[in-house]
Amino acid sequence: MWQDRAQFPMSAVTLIDAVIEDRILFKKVGSQLESLPPDQEAADRLVDAYRDERIEGWLAVYLLGCVGHVSGYETGKSILLSNNGRGYAGVALVKMDKVRAYDDLRQIVFSDQHPKVRRESGYGLALYRSADVINDFLTAFDEGRLLPRNYVAYNVAQCGPSDTTLLGLLRSQDIRKQKLAVAVIELLVAENMHLRSPGKEVAAVVRSLLQETDITMAVHRREKLSAWANSA
């Protein structure tokens, strides 16, 4: 049935109806929805299907994000807070209402919500790619609200931290901050990430830290990071 429909342009509502019938289509449908203008009728159709328990929360919020209409925002937020978003909800809120989502996601990150809810909110927060967001991640990590370290490092790296920020962490007397900085830098210099590599001053501090026994990591990781630091 999908193959027959896919030969012709499909409306957002038709796409929603198709994925409600067949969940396996959700990625294909999602990509097509993102190419269309935000559609309130499609968002309302998803909200109704979720409330009627015809689709699960994670699927509803993923598709609401792809539809991108603000009318689905409150339902998306409720799915996030119920811990049923499976990694899609925080990002979906930003897609539906970028202005409102920043304050909501930041508040959740610093709340006493379930750790998974806070992490999921962080994925959405990282989409803002700003120095303020980086500071939010660092503060939340320092307070133990966002963990583990690799999760925080990934989101900080996606936000493009400055060398000044990285140097501040590397030169901290707090070993947790040093290890976080090293984890961020590993991601920044990884070829498959396609991110901006830090400069020579950061590389010099990394070389020094790698000689200290407190910075432990797998041999292959140390070799890659050392190779970068020596060639920077």
**Span 181-200, pLDDT tens digits:** 999 999 999 989 999 999 99
Q: Report the C-alpha gap between 215 and 125 in whole angstroms.
A: 29
Query: Are 97 and 158 part of one and the same domain?
Result: no
12: pLDDT strictly greater than 90: yes
Neighbouring C-beta atoms of residue 213, cutoff 10 Å = 5
Query: Are 117 and 12 part of one and the same domain?
Result: yes
- How much is the CA Rg of the chain, to the nearest whole Å? 21
Q: Does an H or E element contain 173, and which?
A: none
Q: Report the C-alpha gap between 152 and 148 in whole angstroms.
A: 7
Helices (H), ranges, 52-84: 57-67, 73-81
Q: Which of 99, 128, 157 is the last residue of a domain?
A: 128
Provide the domain limits for residue 171.
Answer: 130-232
1: pLDDT strictly greater than 50: no
Q: Which of 128, 155, 176 is the last residue of a domain?
A: 128
CB neighbours of 47 closer than 8 A, spacing ≥ 6?
A: 60, 64, 71, 72, 75
Number of domains observed in the structure of the chain: 2
**Span 14-54, pLDDT tens digits:** 999 999 999 999 999 999 999 999 999 999 999 999 999 99
pTM above 0.75, yes or no: yes
**Span 66-112, pLDDT tens digits:** 999 999 999 999 999 999 999 999 999 999 999 999 999 999 999 99
